[in-house]
Each structure stands twice: as C-alpha cells, then as structure tokens.
A and B are shown apart, each in its own frame.
Chain A
Amino acid sequence: MIRTLAIAALVALPLTACKIVKKADDADAVPQDDASRMAALVEADWDERILPALSDTANPAEDVLALVGSDFAAAEDRYGIGGSEGAPSNFVVTGTGTVIDANLESRAARLDVDIDGDGEADSQIQLGPVIRGTALRDTLDFYVFTDFRDQIEFAKLARALNDAAHSSLEPAPAPVVGQTVTFTGAFTLAKAGDPAQIVPVRLSWGAE
C-alpha cells in the first residue's frame, strides 16, 4: 500500500506538470476559450498524430461489422476500444461501400452505405456539419479525460475533432446514390443492432 501511494504521488506530479505545458503551448499567443484551444490542439495534432493513429488502428469494416453482427462481445474484445460499463465500445474501420441512400438535406447529413455487398445498407457515414458523438476522441488513446480540466474541455475536444473531420471531407457528387465510397473512420456502438454511424476522417469517391 505504501509503495502504491508513493508511486501514485510520483505519477501525479508529472501529470499535473504535463497538463500545464500542453495548454501553455496552445495558449501562448492570446487567451482562448475552451473551444478555440481545443480546435488549435486538434489542428496541431491532426496530421502528426490523429490520422496516423486512426490508420494504424483501423480494421477492415467488413470484418468488424460481420463480427459485430454475429457476436458483439467478441467484436468488442477483438476490435473495440475504450468500452466500459459506463461508456460503449468504439471501433476504427476502413473500407469501401456503395451508397444506398442519403440525406444531404439535414444539417446532420449522412450516407447509408452497403459495405458487405448484399445490396442493403449496413452502415451510416456521417457527413455533418452536425456530426454526432465522441467516437473520434474516444478511439484516440493519447487523449485521456484525466488530463483535461473538466468535461466541458473534454467535450470541446470531441467537437473540435468532429469539426475537423467534417471540414476535411470532399463534397458528395450528384447523384450520390449508387456511388462507391472509400473511407476510414470511427464509430461508437453500444449494442448489436444499433446502426454503425461512422465518422469519416478520410473519404474518397470511387473505389481505391
């Protein structure tokens, strides 16, 4: 117990110091609110850390969706990131699909995509600008809640990641239904049967 406490104390000090340094990096020029500071953090990390991490952790979408459908617990074990009792698992996937349907009118625009090739939509790709959820943030293991001031700051990080994902997307060609789309992205899934709502960080039209 004493050793644990001592280690905890040792760990706690550098963590605190680390947090201050990280914020100071971004906040040097002008005082910023949470949203701007998190947007700056994401901008700085996007190419250097975020895209490489997602590329490294991505699994074939078809394999992940198949296992999610047949044995959700096994899919969580094998592919899931960050699942706990209080928070559902996240998955990073890459793949190609056919657009079966689309809603480009809503601010939460989305594609309904067939990835397994059975002619029916089995996933959604969120195009935004309203992108739901925290899948990107929660798949990136270098963003840890304990390192952030509070849940507002941590939430703004998720929003900044979603905004960055949206602004990196090319506009959908018209008509969009029937197009082939190739993507890398992340989604959160609480249970089998819920739709996979993928937040894409790379999306290109046509097969790759």
Chain B
Amino acid sequence: MKRRHLIASAATVALIMPFAAFAQGKGTIGIVTPSHDNPFFKAEADGAAAKAAELGYETMVLTHDDDPNRQSEIYDTLIAQGVSAIILDNAGADASVAPIRRAKEAGIPSFLIDREITESGVAVSQIVSNNYQGAQLGAEEFVALMGESGEYAELLGKESDTNAGIRSSGYHDVIDQYPDMTMVAQQSANWSQTEAYTVMESMLQANPGIKGVISGNDTMAMGAWAALEAAGRTDVIVVGFDGSNDVRDSIANGGIKATVLQPAYRQAELAVEQADTYLTNGSTGLEEKQLMDCVLINADNAGQLETFALSN
C-alpha cells in the first residue's frame, strides 16, 4: 500500500505530526469529516483519501464528530502542520467560517463537500449534493407509487441539521401540489433507526390508514420499515434518502421501495481533484459553489449501487 492513510483524533494529531512533516512529493492533504460511524462519512473520507493517494499526496484523515470546537482544533493543527489543502465536511455552517478563513490566511485552501457554509469567498470550492433536487426526485417517485393520493407520514431528520429542512422542503414542494395526498403525521426521529422504529409504531397506531412513509434519510427508513414489518404492514410504501447499502438490500428484497443516492464517494474525489488543479494552476476554473445532482434508486437500478456510488 503506497498511500499512508492516517486516522487520528485531535488528541493524537500531535503524535503523527513529525511523520507527516517529512512528507515528500506533492505534500499532504487533510481530510476532515464527521464520525466514520456513519458509512456516508466514511465513504467520503475513503473517496478523498484514495484520490489523494492516486494523485501523489500524503493524507491526514481526521474526524470532528460534529463538534465545532474540535473542528477548530483540527484546523489549527493542520495549519501548524502546513498541509497543502484541506477537504472538509464541516461541523456547522456558521461556526466553520472562522477556521476556514484562518487556513486561507495561512495560505491553505479548503475544499468543502456535503455541507455549505454561510459565506462565499472563504473556501475555494463548496461541492454539495443537491439535496433539494434529490428530495424532489424521491417525492415524485413517492407520489407516483402512491397513485397521487392517500394518507402518508413523514419522518424528519434532526432539526438542527439544515439538510433535514432542505429535504423536507423538497418533499413538500412536490407532494403538496397533489391535493389528494394527505399528511397525517410528521415527526422527527433525529436520523436514528431506533427512534424511527418507535415513532413509526405510534404513528401507525394513531393512523392505521397510512399508505406511505417518506423519510429524511435511510437509517430512519430502515427503522420505519422494521416497525411496519413487525406490525404486518408491509403494504406501506416507504421511500428514504442517502442511497445506503442497507436500503439497497431492502429494495432488492421488496421492502423499501426507493431512495435517493447522494454521490458521496465521487464528491469527495472531485474535491481532491479540484484541490490538485488549484494547487497546480492557482485556480480551479470553476464556480466556488457547485451542486451535484442526486440519483433516484429503485428496483430498476438498486443492483448497481455500492458504497454511495452507482456503477454503470
């Protein structure tokens, strides 16, 4: 294995610094994401690290666990380290601006993936999934599966996460245009599978006429589906969001009907490619903020899905 792939918490950064400081060739790229416990973020980190190695960079892979303070410490470490560039899935749209600016002032460009920050002109690139477009795709499929009518429930993500709001907004911009679609329940399950199970159970008790469930992410869709199975209600149409392997398998087994793939792996690769172009040419030649379209996954193409990427 020619690449050196380091996973370290902020606490261990100090220990690995002397090694990375000897990095030769094109320098080191810092790769910073939320916890790899969620396979989505692991796919991002893996995609970025593999591409960086392919392009001849050393990598330092770190996680901030959605803690802005930890992210700030990581940034200070990477600045002190003198990395060439930072790939970041950030820990807060507002809180991330300051550390990214500090790095910029130190001559270290940041390339953001997955989540936006509230200012432009601070990061070099912000490449984000088009959550809204993806939500509309999921909603269109959901409406079609429902025959444009019937009672449904919505599982919302964590309220503090802007992607929860974006997806719900995308869902409703489509669904609310169908007067025969009636939302009988809407509740947050905080992106959590276990919470979604409980929420789904009570939703079902209160609204036995539910015909469909649209979920803000795949883990909640999995929880809802488990509750529906337990209640013998596998007739209920469930649509998720993310494109996880779990939901892929459920679709293949005739469970959940559809999800929406965020191209997380490719997005991370693309950020590294843009970092490389920027370091080589002084410019990416592209707009700072870039949207990457999501892709509808259903029984037709679920077999081509693997680790947040679709093969042809």
Nearest A residue (CB) for B294: A86
Nearest A residue (CB) for B135: A155
**Contact yes or no, B132 A86, CB < 8 A:** no
Given contacts A12-B121, A107-B178, A130-B174, contact A87 B282 (CB under 8 A): no
Given contacts A1-B282, A86-B270, contact A152 B166 (CB under 8 A): yes
* A70 beta carbon closer than 8 Å to chain B: no
**Contact yes or no, B282 A145, CB < 8 A:** no
* A15 beta carbon closer than 8 Å to chain B: yes
| Residues of chain B from 279 to 306 with CB closer than 8 A to chain A in the complex | 282-283, 286-293
**Contact yes or no, A155 B290, CB < 8 A:** no
- Which A residues touch B187, using CB under 8 A? none
**Contact yes or no, A15 B121, CB < 8 A:** yes
- Complex formed: what's the CA distance from A132 to B136 in Å? 8
Nearest A residue (CB) for B117: A150
The count of residues in chain A whose C-beta lies closer than 8 Å to any C-beta of chain B is 32
Other-chain residue from B263, B286, B291 in contact with A151 (beta carbon distance below 8 A)? B291
- Complex formed: what's the CA distance from A144 to B119 in Å? 14
- Which A residues touch B282, using CB under 8 A? 1, 4
* B28 beta carbon closer than 8 Å to chain A: no
| Residues of chain A from 95 to 127 with CB closer than 8 A to chain B in the complex | 106-108
* B207 beta carbon closer than 8 Å to chain A: no
Q: How large is the interface on B (under 10, 10 to 19, 20 to 34, 35 or more residues)?
A: 35 or more
- Within the complex, the shortest CB–CB distance from B113 to chain A, in Å, comes to 11
Other-chain residue from B140, B165, B178, B292 in contact with A86 (beta carbon distance below 8 A)? B292
The 8 A CB mask of B258-288 against A (1 = contact, 0 = none) is: 0000010011001000000000001100111
- Complex formed: what's the CA distance from A144 to B234 in Å? 44
* A195 beta carbon closer than 8 Å to chain B: no
- Complex formed: what's the CA distance from A144 to B126 in Å? 13
**Contact yes or no, B148 A106, CB < 8 A:** yes
**Contact yes or no, B263 A86, CB < 8 A:** yes
Given contacts A85-B270, A152-B132, contact A146 B166 (CB under 8 A): no
* B90 beta carbon closer than 8 Å to chain A: no
27 contacts between A and B (CB under 8 A): A11-B121, A13-B121, A15-B120, A84-B286, A84-B290, A85-B292, A86-B130, A86-B263, A86-B267, A86-B292, A87-B130, A87-B291, A87-B292, A130-B178, A145-B290, A145-B291, A146-B287, A146-B288, A147-B120, A149-B118, A150-B93, A151-B128, A151-B132, A151-B166, A152-B132, A152-B165, A154-B132
Q: A151-B131, A154-B291 are in contact. List 14 more A-B contacts (CB 8 A).
A: A11-B121, A16-B120, A85-B266, A85-B270, A86-B292, A87-B292, A107-B148, A107-B179, A108-B140, A145-B287, A150-B93, A151-B166, A152-B132, A152-B165
Q: Which residues of A contact B (CB under 8 A)?
A: 1, 4, 8-9, 11-13, 15-16, 84-88, 106-108, 129-130, 132, 134, 144-147, 149-152, 154-155, 159
Q: Which residues of B contact A (CB under 8 A)?
A: 93, 116, 118-121, 127-128, 130-133, 136, 140, 148, 162, 165-166, 169-170, 173-174, 177-179, 263, 266-267, 270, 282-283, 286-293
